[in-house]
Amino acid sequence: MAESSKPILYSYFRSSCSWRVRIALALKNIDYETVAVNLIKDGGQQFSEEFQALNPMKQVPALKIDGITIGQSLAIIEYLEETRPTPRLLPRDPKQRAQVRMVSDLITSGIQPLQNLSVLKQVGQENQLTWAQQAITSGFNALEQILQSTAGRYCVGDEVSMADLCLAPQVANADRFKVDLTPYPTISRINKSLLALEAFHVSHPCRQPDTPPELRA
Ligand SMILES: N[C@@H](CCC(=O)N[C@@H](CS)C(=O)NCC(=O)O)C(=O)O
C-alpha cells in the first residue's frame, strides 16, 4: 500500500508548542494526521528511541512533511509559511514582521522554556507552581507593554500572525498555572478575540485525538 502523503504531526494535546503548529495547519487548511506523544505516560514517550530518532531534542512538536521531519515550532511555522503562503502569518511590512518575530521569540524563548515540563521536574514538585508563575508573570509584564504599542485587533496590527499562534497557547499555560491575568488587559483582550476564531477552536487542547475524556469540551 502506498505510504500516506499527508503530513504527520507528532503532538501532545496539552503541549502549547504543539498547539502553535496545530493553529498554523488549521489556518492554512492543511490536512494532517496526528501521532500522539504522551509526555507523561510510560515515563514520557518523548524519550522513546523511536521518537528520539525523529527529534533528538525529545520534545514535541515535530512535523513530517514533504519528505523531511522538522522540529521546533517556529521553524515549522516558517516552513509552512514559505511553502503554503496563504493566509499570510508574517506581515509583508519588514517592521511589522520584526515585531511579530519579537513577540514570538519573547514567548517561545523567554517564557515557555522556563516553565516546560523538563525544567519543572528539576525545580521539584513543591516549587513548581511558584516557579512557573514567576516565569510567566515576568514575561507577561514585558509582553503587555510591548503589545500596547504593536497590537491592533491581534498582537501586531489587525491580521492574525505567528505571534498570535504563540500567544493563545501561552495564555492557556498561564491559566493552568493559575496566573492572575488582571494586570494584562491587552493580552487578555487579544486572547479572547483569538479563541473566537475557528482555527484556534479546532486546534484547542480540549479537542485533540489524544485529549482524555475528562478534559474534552
Ligand atoms: N522550542 C521548542 C520547544 C518544544 C517544547 O518545549 N516542547 C515541550 C512541550 S510544549 C515538550 O515536548 N516537553 C517535553 C519535556 O520537557 O520532556 C518548540 O518551539 O518546538
Regarding whether 163 and 117 lie in a shared domain, the answer is yes
Q: What DSSP string runs through 89-158?
A: SS-SSHHHHHHHHHHHHHHHHHTGGGGSHHHHHHH-GGGHHHHHHHHHHHHHHHHHHHHHHHBSSSSSBT
Specify whether 103 is located in the same domain as 185.
yes
Q: What is the per-residue pLDDT for 5?
A: 87
- Give residue 116 CA to ligand 1 midpoint distance, Å: 7
Residue 145 Cβ < 6 Å to ligand 1: no
Whether residues 45 and 128 share a domain: the answer is no
Do 79 and 105 lie in one domain? The reply is no
- Distance between Cα 39 and ligand 1 center (Å): 10
In a domain, 2, yes or no: no
If asked whether residues 61 and 99 sit together in one domain, one would say no
Which H/E stretch holds residue 198?
Answer: helix 198-202
Query: How far is ligand 1, taken at its centre, from the CA of residue 125, in Å?
Result: 19
> Residue whose CA is closest, atom 11 of ligand 1?
59
Q: 93 C-alpha to center of ligand 1: Å?
A: 30
| Residues 74 and 137 occupy one common structural domain | no
In a domain, 99, yes or no: yes
- Rounded to whole angstroms, the maximal C-alpha distance in the chain is 56
**CA-CA distance, 101 to 95, in Å (whole number)?**
10
pLDDT tens for the 217 residues of the chain, in order: 445 689 999 999 999 999 999 999 999 999 999 999 999 999 999 999 999 999 999 999 999 999 999 999 999 999 999 999 999 999 999 999 999 999 999 999 999 999 999 999 999 999 999 999 999 999 999 999 999 999 999 999 999 999 999 999 999 999 999 999 999 999 999 999 999 999 999 999 999 999 999 999 9
Q: Give the chain's domain count.
A: 2
Model confidence, pTM: 0.97
Q: What is the domain extent for residue 63? A: 8-87
CATH number, residue 66: 3.40.30.10
User: Which helix (H) or strand (E) covers residue 53, if one does?
Assistant: helix 49-54
User: Are 70 and 125 in a shared domain?
Assistant: no
On whether both 123 and 32 belong to a single domain, the answer is no
Whether 72 lines ligand 1, by a CB cut-off of 6 Å, is yes
SS3 177: coil
CA separation for the pair 9, 7 (Å, rounded): 7
Distance 48 CA to ligand 1 centre (A): 15
Ligand 1 pocket test target in 16, 69, 72, 112 with most atoms within 8 Å of CB = 112
Q: Does ligand 1 have an atom closer than 6 angstroms to the CB of 55?
A: no
Q: How many CB atoms within 10 Å of residue 118? A: 12
In DSSP terms, 11 is beta-bridged to 36
AA identity, residue 44: G
Pocket test for ligand 1, best of 47, 51, 54, 60 (most atoms within 8 A of CB): 60
Distance (Å) from CA 62 to ligand 1 centroid: 10
